Chain A
Amino acid sequence: MEKLEKLFSKLENIFLILSQVALVIMMILTTFDAFSRYLFSNSIVGAYEVTEMYLMVALVFLSMSYVQKVDGHIRLDILFERFPKRVQAIVNSVFYVLAAGMMFFIGLKGLEMTINALQNNLVASGLINLPLWISYIWIPIGAFLIMVRLVIQVILLLIGREAHPVKEILIEEDDFE
């Protein structure tokens, strides 16, 4: 099981890196679009749509699973933290099974949207035509990734292991000194 988890984490990391790339492109594209508009009275064609349709969707969906891995989807912990470890594990398993179910349907519908857009050659039309499947595809990838992550965590909990071995690490700038 741990081996499988390690393998899956590698896959998860690839998508996390894509998500980071989307973040950096978003910063650069939006800034340069504004500069170009101001200095040369010329908006970068497609900057707005690319940020909205591709970068935002990829940024969020591709990292959902990683955020789940490090227990980053926050919760109200007033009662939860008082539960004994065993109860926490049981409660978490129930949560994660339900969440995996919801993610399954989100992924399934996203997959349908992607295939439909691909088959029918759907685009957001304008000066350049932006294919819609590239916008939709991050939903099934992201939803199925977090679904698998949730299932792995449930199995880990059931066999008595930690579901979130890596907790969130926070930045303290002292780390760099």
Chain B
Amino acid sequence: GDSDNANGKSETIKLKIADSLPTTNYLSSEGTVFFMERVEELTDGKVEFEHYPAEQIGKANSYLDLTLSKTIDIGYTSYSTDRLPLTEVATLPGAYSSAEEGSKIIWQLMKDYLTEEEYLKNGVRPLYAVALPQYQYVTAKKPIKSMKDIKGTKARVTGTMELGFDALGASPVFMPATEAYTAMERGTVDGVTFPFTSFEAYQIESIANYSTKGANLGSFTVVYSINEDVYKSLPEDVKEALAQAGDETVEHLSKFLDKKNEELAEKFASEIEIYELNDEESAEWDQALEPVWDRWAEDLEKRGFKAKETVQKYREIQESLQ
């Protein structure tokens, strides 16, 4: 914040918020923009945002550093898993079944535990966290109907899904999202992992022929964090507005994504053969992916992070919400 608002309510507080999302992405239009508008409304215009979307001042993994250096006040810290790895717990396969459920859990976990344990130690405070709908395996030539079909395929993956696909006997492949389309078209990879809500951003629906539905292959968590010094300098009513807007954004965006996910699955069904797992199959896949949790946790424990405690707390919150 450029202006310390110590003397008088008439002064506006300018907050710089930055992310790597194109403005057409739902996560931006229904998340970031929704959040900014709610804060502006709740503070009667006392807070104004300057929004730098679409990697305008840094690549995806630089927003934690840009927030820490106060180049910006609020940043999209999802990609800083080197320093904020515990947040990844919600991205593990089978962590939840709907975005609404996953978001409720991870946001509660942030409030109860991760804010202290992970974020404040790194000088930032999370403002909201939203878990995306579960990723599905989308393929061009080969329909995926069982775990057996996954074996031996090449899948473009991100994040912890590398562990999941390795556990299922597939070959996880890394490539820029920009190349996913062409890679699938030419068979460089057999498929990609995406939630339905991200298809359009990469035109996956026009190149894919098959997709799973109801598989919990893992996911991604959207987190926006504010520099803690900046946060401390804000007046109480603004802090309250940020908290309320954060809660509302978690609810709004996660519900929106679930609804959109269903709509899009229906829409794509005309072009893509969608194989929907029944509850039994879904549970079977979850079980096969269970070892990924231990592998993830043990790896982090070795590096001195309290991953086991995080998993335990995650499960506790999940139970309490049911």
Asked if A and B are interacting partners, one says yes
- Interface residues of chain A, those whose CB is within 8 Å of chain B, are 37, 41-43, 48-49, 117, 120-127, 129, 132
Contact assessment for B175 and A122 in the assembled complex, using a CB-CB cutoff below 8 Å: no
Contact of B148 with A by CB under 8 A: no
Chain A contacts of B154 at CB under 8 A? 37, 41, 43
Contact with A along B57-89 (1 / 0, CB 8 A): 000000000000000000000000111010000
Decide: B163 and A127 in contact? CB cutoff 8 A.
yes
Contact of B172 with A127 in the complex, beta carbons under 8 Å: yes
CB pair A122–B299 under 8 Å, yes or no, is no
Residues of the A chain whose Cβ atoms lie less than 8 Å from the Cβ of B173: 37, 43, 48
Interface size class of B (residues with CB under 8 A): 20 to 34
Footprint of A on B, CB under 8 Å?
81-83, 85, 152-154, 162-163, 166, 171-175, 188, 299-300, 303-304
B297 to A: closest C-beta gap in Å = 12
Chain A nearest CB from B305 CB (Å) reads 10
Distance between A64 CB and nearest chain B CB, rounded to angstroms: 20
A132 to B61, CA, bound (A): 13
A145 shortest CB reach to chain B, Å: 23
- A-B contact list, 30 entries, CB within 8 Å: A37-B171, A37-B173, A37-B188, A41-B153, A42-B171, A43-B154, A43-B171, A43-B172, A43-B173, A43-B174, A48-B173, A48-B174, A49-B174, A120-B83, A121-B303, A121-B304, A122-B82, A123-B82, A123-B303, A124-B82, A125-B82, A125-B299, A126-B162, A126-B163, A127-B162, A127-B163, A127-B172, A129-B299, A129-B303, A132-B82
A residues less than 8 Å from B299 (CB atoms)? 125, 129
Q: Tell me how many residue pairs across A and B have CB atoms closer than 8 Å.
A: 41
Q: In the complex the two chains form, is A48's CB within 8 Å of B175's CB?
A: yes
Q: Contact partner of B85 among A37, A41, A48, A125, CB < 8 A?
A: A125
Per a CB cutoff under 8 Å, which of A41, A117, A127 touches B152? A41
Q: A-B pairs with the 9 shortest C-beta distances? A: A48-B174, A122-B82, A43-B173, A42-B171, A43-B171, A126-B162, A121-B303, A41-B152, A41-B154
Give the contacting residue for A127; candidates B81, B166, B188, B304; CB below 8 A: B166
Q: Report chain B residues within 8 Å CB of A49.
A: 174
Residues on B with C-beta less than 8 A from A37 are 154, 171, 173, 188
CB distance from B196 to the nearest CB of A (A): 25
CB distance from A115 to the nearest CB of B (A): 14
Q: How far is the CB of A94 from chain B (nearest CB, A)?
A: 28
Closest to B151 in A: A41
Complex formed: what's the CA distance from A132 to B188 in Å? 29
**A48 vs B179: C-alpha distance when bound (angstroms):** 13
In the complex, chain A residues whose CB is within 8 Å of the CB of B85: 125
Q: Which residue of B lies closest to A120 (CB)?
A: B83
Assembled-state Cα–Cα distance A158/B9 (Å):
57
Query: Within 8 Å CB of A122, what residues of B?
Result: 82-83
Complex CA distance for A132 and B175, rounded to whole angstroms: 19
Chain A residues within 8 Å of B174, by CB: 43, 48-49
- The interface residues of chain B lying within 8 Å CB-to-CB of A120 are 83
- Contact across chains for B175 and A41 when beta carbons are under 8 A apart: no
Q: A41-B171, A124-B82, A125-B82 are in contact. List 15 more A-B contacts (CB 8 A).
A: A37-B154, A37-B173, A43-B154, A43-B174, A48-B175, A117-B82, A122-B82, A125-B299, A125-B300, A126-B162, A127-B162, A127-B163, A127-B172, A129-B299, A132-B82
